[in-house]
Amino acid sequence: MQQPVELGPKVLTREDVHAVARGDAPVEITESARAAVTAARAHIERLATAEKPTYGVSTGFGALAVRHIPPDRRAALQQSLVRSHAAGSGPEVEREVVRALVLLRLKTLAGGHTGVRLATAEAMAAMLNAGITPVVHEFGSLGCSGDLAPLSAAALALTGEGQVRDADGALVPAGDALRRAGIEPVRLAEKEGLALINGTDGMLGMLVLALGDLRYLLDVADLTAAMSVEALLGTDRVFADDLQALRPHPGQGRSARRMADLLAGSEIVASHRGPDCTRVQDAYSLRCSPQVHGAARDTVAYAETVADRELAASVDNPVVLADGRVESNGNFHGAPIAYVLDFLAIPVADVASIAERRTDRMLDVNRSHGLPPFLADDPGVDSGHMIAQYTQAAIVSELKRLAVPASVDSIPSSAMQEDHVSMGWSAARKLRKSVDGLRTVLAIEFLTAARALDLRAPLKPAPATAEAVAKLRVSVQGPGPDRHLAPEIAAAEELIRNGAL
């Protein structure tokens, strides 16, 4: 049985998010967190009976915050808030994203600054542990005042309304799924509706998931680049430590060392090291791979610092402070997350772009140094990998469009009360598409470079690159007459998705 992820004083890690979102690890609210939640709730209940209005407890929301709500209507106010704000539209959001969103909202609830009842936090934990996933739609968040529509869909499910996916993936009414799991639907009390929906949890969850994917994909990019350098009779001398030390970016140094190690022991590289080789230097797409991949690594590292700060945060409005004050704030604004989500889309597009350029060189008889045109078995009759590069080019073009930032846009809402928003959710959604596109582009370079290395026989590739080719050959045949290429691209992509390289 998996170890539960504890929600309490210990800061949630990126690894914790992956464990729950993708690995279905259970969650557990610690005793200290239970005490903090109970203490904060006591302050809310005191304010609920006070004559002075408190935002989120005895008033309306957004532009309606000036409306004082009588005590007998305050529970209805919270339920109405959740129902009305669950106004999303479009395709269902992926299960892992919804699980990350619910986990991160629960993390804030367990922090003791929202004022929810302990039973509400416990019900959310039980919903996660039962594998119940609220149906969240793609559109409905402006990345400010929280990911409102997505979080409202999750909150609505907690109250037994709306639709969910059960542990088997079936679409069922939320009330039925809760009942089967032995979970009592939550009847919202003062402040709880607002506390359940006022956070940046969706965009943060997508950032954390993307960061994990990108760490691995940049390793794959180093591998596919090394294979391409080898296949194109490039040199490994440019990856030497003393050259990289002249420009001491940590990501660049790491990528260069990885590429040098991957090429170590290559008969192909050794075959053109002698005085007979007249080539002075390789093309940028080969020689500058560590500079591009390394800059992407450093961008990921910066984004990780932002993600880690957010994982240590408690985002709600208003918040309950330790001394009992309930204060409005602007911490729900998604700008810190939105900026790095947009930032990451730029190196993703560029890493894909340089990979496509390397692939194109292997297919061009004028630049491939002895490889057959398009790596075709019988050029003219066969087209080889010609159209695989078209697919790469189409994806790279799309990635360039996705690199246009969402966070520079803002569209006013709530009768101008919320007059500047982050669009962080939109930045996160397009980054997910970008990550998927990069994976496919690298899969095509991997497929092409493996074929090119086979065509360099009898010279043998480096042990590390040969091992990668061998893994591919389990599901994809070596060079030969034209075959249906789409399944081979999919097989290469699956190897990458499964972390097999």
Q: Which residues are registered as beta bridge partners of 137?
A: 92
Strand-by-strand arrangement of the 133-134 sheet: 133-134, 163-165, 171-173
> Strand 5-7 and strand 27-29: pairing?
parallel
Reading the block at residue 261, the tokens are: 């190690």
What is the C-alpha to C-alpha distance for residues 269 and 255, in angstroms, rounded to an integer? Answer: 18
Q: For residue 374, give the DSSP letter.
A: G
Q: For residue 478, give the DSSP letter.
A: -
- Residues 6 or more apart from 328 whose CB is under 8 A from it? 55, 317, 318
Reading the block at residue 451, the tokens are: 């074929």
Q: Three-class SS of residue 23? A: coil
302 is catalytic: no
What is the C-alpha to C-alpha distance for residues 57 and 290, in angstroms, rounded to an integer? Answer: 54
- Residues 6 or more apart from 375 whose CB is under 8 A from it? 362, 363, 384, 385, 448, 451, 452, 455, 479
What is the C-alpha to C-alpha distance for residues 311 and 442, in angstroms, rounded to an integer? Answer: 30
Q: Contact at 8 Å (CB) between 383 and 482?
A: yes
Distances (CA, A) of 112 to 41, 77, 137, 265: 8, 22, 29, 57
318 preceded by a cis bond (ω within 30 of 0)? yes
What is the C-alpha to C-alpha distance for residues 293 and 501, in angstroms, rounded to an integer? Answer: 17
What is the C-alpha to C-alpha distance for residues 167 and 408, in angstroms, rounded to an integer? Answer: 39
106 CB neighbour count, 10 Å cutoff: 26
Q: Which of 55, 216, 302, 339 is catalytic?
A: 55
What is the C-alpha to C-alpha distance for residues 93 and 87, in angstroms, rounded to an integer? Answer: 14
Q: Find the radius of gyration of the CA atoms of the chain.
A: 27
Residues taking part in catalysis: 55
